[in-house]
Chain A
């Protein structure tokens, strides 16, 4: 589409030039002043030559994608070296010069250096490949050689005979060439080992594509395993988590302070200790449900019980990450009962001093039970530790003068907010 766009633009520009030249000159001067800042200059793509625009896009691409790309390329290198550990390319230990590493156009020499270093690291850690890396700085330098047949300028690696004649021979008999190319959504690694003579005959050749391997092999460079084995470990990691988990929670629930005009007494926070069971529907752990029971006891103030059911939904991605924090959203229904002086505050009338005294001395036992619906977010790390924040609506306590509203949606009111810390077993 770019040639069409540029040809259309150029035809428009030429017609403008012929009829409105003075106006265009004035406007161009104005635009030049306005777009002199780098941000605006980047946006004015029409003013740039196609090559400059592509160069700018390539720079953006390199910045945005290099980090992601090198991990996929590492994976292919792991697969390559693992293959060499199973089927070494040489019968005996053989010195090999890393002759050339090329990457997709626009990603620059930084990625090439990363790949070369990773390959060197893998080969050093796996001597069973029988590949020994040899150092050859002259191989990548420009060599000029003149004899009776003519003058040839080339990289040293492209004229190994010349290197040998000028005394720059590395002693290696083979050269390794790596090429990584992006073909659509797949990354393709082409590896070839050539003889280090005037012919550079390819003696070992291997092509690997990311489209034929699993998405994430999670392999460590210290101990390479096959793609199948890595996948099995991955599945084990998924299955070891199991569908059932036992949470232990410490939760703090704070009621909204009452509006001053009602004259109610604000309720103190309720601390709940809870445990129960959580069931994950699938390995992706994107949906899960839980049922917990909880208890609380503060001497002279309140004691109580609660039961709550929750439905959790993963909000960060399609599947829970094994290595990164996961954020869940949840909805809940619960029923709680509280006994003691605090329960007086949850009644529909304002307790007087006599009520409070009678309740604290045990003359009367006040019990309040209420249902609640809630929603919140839960941040979990490794599915072992989590922290949640939630809001609850308690319709039967709406008339209590001791409870206000944090938010009022009309039919739905937020009467309490809470936070909790959870450990899963």
Chain B
């Protein structure tokens, strides 16, 4: 019993440093370790963000060698909670939307009203993608409507029978034909073209003409 007690006491002292090191978490299993997202940043930046944990750079040390810190944070929503495709899309939402907005920039005249709609298998994720796209377009200086464009019930019935790749150009034409969109209005359509892919596609509709951006 005493030997076991001595072992645990020594483990307490030696384990202190390792408690927050993601490498030393073998007992937590692979699944737990996968939930960490890590980035390597310079010591000065790490000290700025985590002053209590990372010491300031010492002048002598910094001239002799470059030290860095591995900053790990646990995912807010662990892998395996949602549909795998949705998890990937939501994890990269900012990056994906930035790429789409980058394609729209310059193609839409300044002052034009921009409307956004998203075609995605999950309505909740579609809403998130639409919010992020509208917000990103607004941040980029576009005049963005927070509403999705509406089509007549007959149009919706026809579009529902088409694949997203076929439906978006048709929807573009119908939006202008029904005068839901007019003049210099622009429609940005975001869609997942295949159920098993993890990249969002987008196109731009102006004056009833559809153009794929991505």
Chain A contacts to B: CB under 8 angstroms:
1-3, 54, 57-58, 61, 65, 69, 72, 102, 104-106, 150, 152, 158, 177, 179, 181-188, 190, 192, 194, 199-202, 205, 207, 209, 214-215, 231, 234-235, 238, 282-284, 286, 313-315, 317-319, 329, 331, 375, 407-410, 412
Contacts and interface: CB of A to CB of B under 8 A. Distances in A.
B12 to A, nearest CB: 5
A202 B107 CA distance: 20
Contacts, number: 151
A407 B2 contact: yes
Given A187-B76, A409-B2, A106 B81 contact: yes
15 contacts: A58-B82, A61-B77, A179-B128, A181-B132, A182-B77, A185-B75, A190-B135, A200-B147, A201-B144, A231-B51, A238-B51, A286-B16, A408-B2, A409-B3, A410-B2
Interface in B185-209: 196
B37 interface: yes
Contact of B113 (A183, A199, A207, A215): A199
B144 A182 contact: no
Contact of A207 (B19, B36, B139): B139
A182 B132 contact: no
B29 to A, nearest CB: 16
B33 to A, nearest CB: 14
Nearest to B80: A57
Nearest to B127: A102
A190 B51 CA distance: 28
A207 B135 contact: yes
Contact of A61 (B19, B52, B78): B78
A313 B139 contact: no
Given A192-B138, A200-B145, A185 B153 contact: no
A331 B90 contact: no
Interface string B70-86: 00011111101111101
B94 A284 contact: no
Contacts of B82: 54, 58, 105-106
B184 interface: no
A202 B144 contact: yes
B94 A313 contact: no
B77 A407 contact: no
A241 B93 CA distance: 42
Given A65-B76, A192-B135, A183 B94 contact: yes
B5 interface: yes
Contacts of B124: 105
Contacts of B75: 182, 184-185
A318 B147 CA distance: 48
Given A61-B77, A61-B78, A105-B124, 9 more contacts: A3-B84, A179-B131, A181-B93, A183-B93, A186-B73, A188-B93, A192-B134, A207-B139, A313-B16
Nearest to B3: A409
A315 B135 contact: no
A231 B93 CA distance: 29
Given A215-B50, A329-B13, A331-B13, A192 B146 contact: yes
B146 A317 contact: no
Contact of A150 (B16, B81, B152): B152
Interface in B101-149: 113, 124-125, 127-128, 131-132, 134-136, 138-139, 143-147
Interface of B: 2-3, 5-6, 9, 12-13, 16, 19-20, 36-37, 49-53, 55, 73-78, 80-84, 86, 90-94, 113, 124-125, 127-128, 131-132, 134-136, 138-139, 143-147, 150, 152-153, 196
B13 A2 contact: no
B52 A283 contact: yes
Contacts of A106: 77, 81-82
A215 B49 contact: yes
Contacts of B3: 409
Contacts of A105: 77, 82, 86, 90, 124-125, 128
A362 B79 CA distance: 77
Contacts of A282: 55
B143 to A, nearest CB: 6
Nearest to B143: A201
Contacts of A315: 12, 16
Contacts of A1: 80, 84
A209 B94 contact: yes
A93 B206 CA distance: 37
A206 B37 CA distance: 25
A273 to B, nearest CB: 28
Contacts of B146: 177, 192, 194, 200-202
Nearest to B94: A183
A184 to B, nearest CB: 5
B8 to A, nearest CB: 11
Nearest to B36: A185
Nearest to A414: B2
Contacts of B37: 184-185
B145 A199 contact: yes
The 9 closest A-B pairs by CB, nearest first: A182-B76, A185-B73, A205-B138, A200-B146, A202-B138, A185-B37, A318-B20, A319-B52, A409-B2
Contact of A185 (B13, B51, B76): B76
A12 B132 CA distance: 41
